[in-house]
Structure 1
Amino acid sequence: MAGAALGVVSGRRRQGKSFLLQALAEATGGMYFAATEATEAESLRLFADALVRHTREIPDAPFRDWNDAIAHLFRSFGDRPVPVVIDEFPFLSRTSPALPSIIQRELGPGGSGRDSAARLVLCGSAMSVMGGLLAGQAPLRGRAGLELVIHPFRYRDAAEFWGISDPRLAVLVHAILGGTPAYRYEFTQGDVPASLADFDDWVVRTVLNPQTPLFREARYLLAEESDIRDPALYHSVLAAIASGNTTNGGIANYVGRKSDQITHPLNVLEDCALVAREPDLFRSRRSRYRIVEPLITFYEAIMRRRWPELEIHRAENVWGSVRQTFLAQVVGPHFESLCRDFALDAGETLYGGFPAEIGSGVVGDPAKRTQIEIDVAVLAAQEPGQPRRILSLGEVKWGEVMSHHHLERLARARTLLEQKGYDTRDTILACYGGCGFTEELTAYADDDSRTMLVGLERLYQA
């Protein structure tokens, strides 16, 4: 490739971005610079020092501003293509808003990047900032040859990373810490629950222990987002979602605001990749909100309400009184999301077609004046002129043995959706059970190809 190239790497904190990029720079002879919170003048000096250490060339004059620094950077890497990583880029762009425009100019015709072999990589954890670098009318839009988002480990990979072979224990741990790599060693000092019986003690000695970094981590995740200006409001919004109030109206009622007054906080949380808005697959223009980071859900549902007691080392008493809340408000919804991930990973053979869209939804039952919640809905791609094909309808239960009653609810939903014009001829009814299934339901599923049971062992089977 002629000339310099640009890449943008982003992802929430603690996912290993810096570790990977620093290792890449070391392996290829590239340069790695980690910005800090500092004034523009100090940041320029730190950047100049890093550049001198790497190139062993001293500039003719100190950099006056980032115009000089970026131009000199590209001129310093003209021999062979190597990565030049600027980590924590939002720290720089916050004090120097013109920096993206300067990079854009130097990458363009007539810029110093024309004769450079540098592969400039901008990295950061402030998702709202990094997401905006290449969006809309942003100066760098169309300039990047790489846009990479580092995600947490998926649930099966997380269990392997933690060395947990018991699927029930894996779900419980994942419901608290998710797939964030740093929590495995740096934040728990390598402490892994030895067994399901050790789980409660593990919670008390790690995440609920004021002496561990995990204890305040959820608070820091929110505080580190520069776009969050009113922490009290945002914590209340997150607490509403963690308590099961997942619609716009439900969140507004919980917070004590009007619906239009929480639109902005929800948008900010979405931009920060802390909250995801998931559409109802069967009701247009309706959606639910879900907290993306499990540790924040655990903090808002469990820790925040009992913070004073936890700070004075009464974790064992607190955990004993909130464990059922944890199972109902944290593990239950989290298990539903894992089951949707299971469906997402499935190939064409499992559901009889490629799962193009996966989510949840509500099916109204006018005759009974009730609503049927579908926890895992799997839809095929929309074909022009054809009714939308539903590959599967699923119900998820973490804390109860699933029976024929749950299957009947799904069958009723299938009938109602057929009446609405969906193609349900081959729809598979799926029960996802954390506590297993009755013998009657198991025997029925063995004889019916349109009934599928997914227990914990199957959920974690690669």
Structure 2
Amino acid sequence: MMFIGREDDLEQLQERYQARKAQMVFVYGRRRVGKTELLTRFSNGKPTVFFAAQNATKEEQLASFSRLMFEAGAPGKDYLRQYPDWESALSELARMPEPSNGARRLIVFDEFPYLVKSDPSLPSVLQNLWDHMLRNTNLMIVICGSAMSFIEKELLAEKSPLYGRATGVLKIHPLPYWDAAKFFPDYSSEDKALAYAILGGVPRYLEEFDPDVPLEDNIKRHVLRRIAPLYSEVEFLLHEELRETARYNSVIRAIALGDTSLNEIATHTMIANGTATAYLSNLMELGILEREFPVTAKMKERAKGARGLYQLNDNFFRFWYSFVFPYRSELEHGDVNSVYERRIRPALHDFAGKPFEELCREWLWRESAAGRLPLHAVRIGRWWDRSHEIDVMAIGDTGEPAIVGECKFRNVPMDMRMLGLLRDRSAYAGVGNRKHYLFSLAGFTPELGVMNDADTRLIGIDELFAD
């Protein structure tokens, strides 16, 4: 299996591993984001007990964990068939023989919420053993899970027995676009951007596409055909995580079609505002949605929820609800080529427009961190009001907007008119001393090209994907 990116995540885990004291680190993130692959890579070369929990009974979980422990040399193997309870099993960690090379032993509990589901007392048991025994050992314990709200609300929150015991908390995000592009090293910059617009930065989805075949063929084979895992991926995830999937389908579909305010979503779905809010909250906890505010919005405004818009921050969900969900009847009958030619090909670049804007904002974050911008950015996002919108706005240390940008994923070069529009919009937004950044798939007209100076910067698609 291909492993790409995650250098910073690996480095942070390694720092915890090399710390002086025993470690209890929580690693969590949405499903398919690559947590298990990350921990597998991290555990390479380390004396490790890697327990991948299943949705099973307490006795079945203990039997599986006992086998792993006994294979690793736990003393209980000499007098037990399996541990009778989790207190016995976890206390045995303190009696494990020291590795011959003196390295710290690594204990990974993958999908820890399954263990708690089968035995709700487990967090209290672990807390008691940590306080009285395990924190004085040469262990690094990693607790991993995909149920993000469970990790945050039930294990890390103040009411949890494990509150305050974590020596590290690492939330795993989808890969940035430049790492996602490494799955397709021979694609053109345009096709890399389109692949990212379709799949996002979720490694499990990126691995489904074959880098040696054209993007169009990948879409047909690996998304539109009924046998393809991605064809049923969205429904599988929703059924696994949620009830009332028909209602959630309606909510996500409305947002994919452009209804992004609470009132618009409630009207489109014919669901009461209060009920819709609960559905939206659940989808945000799963990492499928986010609530977006103008980048200049103050904390008070964000807390009240004023002006916030709901956006699908999972590119694949957005693609699936745009091009698979509406045409299931044709696809179920194998009409793949027709759906692609009539529905997807004509709309694909327009569809990629919003992901391209996010890609440009990610590029600005990277450039800022590398010191290649005329400011150090503290906030980068989108700005809008009732009549105007700016695709990219970066705010510096002073708190004032310093970069404004326009993004176009079209096969027509940007011209002077676009620069004029951007200047007018930034003036309307009250942005003072500003730099204008234009991002374009098809480049720039010669007239605009000569404007590439200290106050106006032109960024083509190849520069976005340059190493």
Q: Which amino acid aligns with 2:105?
A: V
* In 2: Cα distance, 1:326 partner to 1:261 partner: 32
Structure 2 counterpart of 1:156, from 169, 178, 181: 178
Contact 2:25 2:142 in 1 (8 A): yes
| Distance in 2 separating the partners of 1:353 and 1:23 | 36
* Amino acid in structure 2 at the alignment position of 1:127: M
Q: Which residue of 2 aligns with 1:166?
A: 188
State the TM-score, normalizing by the size of structure 2: 0.86
1:396 aligns to what? Answer: 407
2:240 counterpart residue number: 224
Ranges in structure 1 where 5+ consecutive residues have no aligned partner:
365-370
1:120-160 CA deviation, whole Å, 9 max, x = no partner?
11112222222332134322222111212233321112212
Q: State the partner residue of 2:8.
A: none
Distance, in Å, in 2 between the alignment partners of 1:67 and 1:241 is 47
SS across alignment from 1:18: helix
Check the 8 A contact 1:249/1:259 in 2, yes or no: yes
- Give unmatched runs, 5+ long, in structure 2: 1-18
1:338 pairs with one of 337, 340, 359: 359
Matched, 1:204 2:220: yes
User: Of residues 106, 117, 125 in structure 2, which corresponds to 1:94?
Assistant: 117
| 2-structure distance, mates of 1:253, 1:398 | 31
2: CA distance between counterparts of 1:281 and 1:26? 41
Question: Quick one: which amino acid aligns to residue 163 of structure 2?
Answer: R
Equivalence map 1:160-309=2 (5 Å): 160-185=182-207, 187-188=208-209, 191-192=210-211, 194=213, 198-225=214-241, 228-282=242-296, 284=301, 285-309=306-330
- 1:409 pairs, out of 393, 400, 421, with 421
For the Cα contact (< 8 Å) 2:75–2:95, is it kept in 1?
Answer: no
Post-superposition offset of 1:325: 6.5
Report if the CA contact (8 A) 1:401-1:437 is conserved.
yes
Partner of 1:68: 88
Q: CA deviation at 1:165?
A: 4.4
Once residues 30 and 405 of structure 2 are traced to their aligned partners in structure 1, the CA distance between those partners, rounded to angstroms, is: 30
Q: Counterparts of 1:170 and 1:57 in 2: how far apart (Å)? A: 52
Alpha-carbon shift at residue 8 of structure 1 (Å): 1.0
Is the Cα–Cα contact under 8 Å of residues 394 and 431 in structure 1 kept in the other structure?
yes
Give the superposition deviation at 1:2.
Answer: 7.0
Which residue of structure 1 aligns with residue 73 of structure 2? Answer: 55
Contact (CA 8 Å) 1:25, 1:84: kept in 2 or not?
no
The aligned runs of 1:361-372 (5 Å cut-off) are: 361-363=383-385, 371-372=387-388
Moved more, 81-90 or 325-334: 325-334
Return the alpha-carbon distance in structure 2 between the equivalents of residues 363 and 281 of structure 1. Answer: 11
Alpha-carbon shift at residue 281 of structure 1 (Å)? 2.2
Tell me the CA shift for residue 349 of structure 1: 5.6
One of 455, 458, 461 as aligned partner of 1:453 = 458
Give the whole-Å Cα distance in 1 for the aligned partners of 2:202 and 2:97: 34
User: Does the 8 A contact of 1:375 with 1:396 survive in 2?
Assistant: yes
> Do residues 436 (structure 1) and 408 (structure 2) align?
no
Secondary structure (helix, strand or coil) at the match of 1:144 reads: coil
* Residues 330, 40 of structure 1: alpha-carbon distance in 2 compared, 3 angstrom cutoff: farther
After superposition, give the CA deviation of every residue in 1:68-126 in whole Å (9 maximum; x if it has no partner): 22222333366752110111111111222221222112111xx2314422211111222
Contact 2:350 2:409 in 1 (8 A): no
Identical-residue share of aligned pairs (%): 30
2:23 alignment partner in structure 1: 5
The change in CA–CA distance for 1:361 and 1:123 in structure 2 (over 3 A counts) is: same
Local SS of the residue matching 1:33? strand
Once the two structures are TM-superposed, the CA of residue 346 in structure 1 deviates from its matched residue by: 1.5
Does the Cα contact within 8 Å between 1:3 and 1:113 map onto a contact in 2?
A: no
1:105 aligns to what? 128
Mapped partners of 1:325, 1:99: distance in 2: 54
Kept in 2, the 8 Å contact 1:15–1:182? The answer is yes
Letter in structure 1 aligned against 2:160 = A
Note closer, same or farther for the CA distance 1:296–1:329 as it changes in structure 2 (3 Å cut).
farther
Aligned residue for 2:167?
145
The alpha carbon displacement at 1:328 in A equals: 5.6
Residues 244 and 136 of structure 1: is their aligned pair in 2 closer, same or farther, counting only changes over 3 Å? farther
Aligned equivalents of 1:326, 1:143: Cα separation in 2: 50
Query: How many Å separate the matches in 2 of 1:235 and 1:151?
Result: 24
Please tell me the residue identity of whatever aligns with 2:203: P
User: Of 297, 316, 327, which residue of structure 1 is paired with 2:337?
Assistant: 316
Q: Distance in 2 between matches of 1:405 and 1:127?
A: 45
- Give the superposition deviation at 1:363: 4.2
Match of 1:206, SS? helix
Partner in structure 1 of residue 40 of structure 2: 22
> Which amino acid is 1:158 matched to?
A
**Other structure's SS at 1:121 match:** strand
2:428 is matched by which residue type in structure 1?
L
1:301 and 1:362 map into 2 onto residues whose CA distance is: 24
In the TM superposition, residue 354 of structure 1 has moved relative to its aligned partner by 0.6
Question: Given that residues 76 and 92 in structure 2 are in contact (C-alpha distance below 8 angstroms), is that contact kept between their aligned partners in structure 1?
Answer: no
Q: What one-letter code is carried by the residue in structure 1 that aligns with 2:318?
A: T
Output the amino acid matched with 1:101: S
**What is the rounded CA distance, in whole Å, between the counterparts of 2:235 and 2:97 in structure 1?**
41
Contact 1:75-1:116 at 8 Å conserved across structures: no
Superposed CA RMSD: 2.4
Q: In the alignment, is the contact (CA less than 8 A) between 1:247 and 1:288 conserved in 2?
A: yes
